[in-house]
Amino acid sequence: MTDTLPWTIRPGELLLTVRLTPKSSTDAIDGIAHLADDSAVVKARVRAPPENGKANTALVRLVADTLQVAKSAVTVKSGATGRTKVIAVTGDAQAMADRLARMFG
């Protein structure tokens, strides 16, 4: 495995690559995983089902709570209908990246 991180810092935003598991028993972020192509993703799970955008809405809430930002700062940038998504979070990208780095050790 490589040392790649599942987030990218851009001016004013953080891009976070997430692998989402819907219909879980709880809403949680479970760490970092590597896909078959060795790209890094944050493993997340939500209780909501993958229908009518419910799982995406739950993921936005989970990411906002985890990064301590407003829900309005979090958007699904790509992958809305797939399990692997890119989430854009506006705000102090470096502070959010530091928070994630502390979370995942």
Say how many C-beta atoms besides its own lie within 10 A of residue 55's C-beta: 24
Q: For residues 59 and 1, what is the distance between their CA atoms, to the nearest angstrom?
A: 26
Give me the mean pLDDT over the 44-61 stretch.
97
What is the length of the chain?
105
For the chain, strand residue ranges (E) read 7-10, 13-21, 28-34, 40-45, 74-78, 84-90
In the block, tokens 């102090």 appear at: 92
> CA 79, CA 103: separation in Å to the nearest integer?
24
Once rounded to an integer, what is the mean pLDDT over residues 49-69? Answer: 96
Angle separating helix axes 54-67 and 93-104, nearest 10 degrees: 90
Other Cβ atoms within 10 Å of 52 Cβ, number: 9
Q: Over 80: is that where the pLDDT of 68 sits?
A: yes
Residue 105: the pLDDT is 80
Mean pLDDT of the 76-95 span: 96
Per-residue model confidence (pLDDT) at position 3: 62
